Amino acid sequence: MARGFYFRLGLAALALGAALSSGAQAQTPTPAPVCATGDKALPPEFSAWAHKSDLAAAKGPADLPRASLVPGQAVTLTLTPTPRVTYLAQPEKPGGSVSHGGLASLTIDRAGSYRIALDGGAWIDLLKDGKALVSTGHGHGPDCSGIRKIVDFDLAPGLYVLQISANAGPTLAVLVTPRPVGD
């Protein structure tokens, strides 16, 4: 009888050890890629990422004419503390009192699928006629590129407003670019 007890106790210990071992392995994060200094060679649609100009984001609708994004040109936007930004529509994720945000206008001349690439985790809303559009895709940039987030939208020709909210820092790199066919 004692032999059966010790046998079952030994099996239980082995099972517990295996469970703890596999649990520890499952919780071990995947290491981030080791990146060389500078941005990695980028796919053609993101080539402008390496040549950003500075642009102050609008603090409200009246400032939009001075904060224009151009497809294919990367910028580093200077943002404003969120409590001092007047949004056209309530952002889906407004961020807290210590976050940063802003607005920028965007004119699209040719219909198609466009990507908005960011170097941070900010929330973006793309507005047309004051209404937020539904994105068609989300992703991450290429490893070691400096592009953290990509959001895709199908756009018709016209004027849009990019609302940025919930950014941790006072700047955000942004690039609007046509999405490659077949991607």
- Residue 170 CA to residue 148 CA, distance in Å, equals 16
Structural domain that includes position 137 = 44-178
Percent of the chain with pLDDT over 70: 78
For residue 69, tell me if it sits in a domain.
yes
For residue 126, tell me if it sits in a domain.
yes
Q: What's the number of domains the chain is made of?
A: 1
Does the pTM of the predicted model rise above 0.85?
Answer: no
For residue 91, tell me if it sits in a domain.
yes
Give 157-182 pLDDT, tens digit per residue. 999 999 999 999 999 999 999 998 87
What's the CATH number where 92 sits? 2.60.120.380
Query: What does the pLDDT average to over 117-139?
Result: 96
- pLDDT for residue 17 is more than 80: no
Instruction: DSSP letter for 33, please.
Output: P
* pLDDT number for residue 23: 47
For residue 32, tell me if it sits in a domain.
no
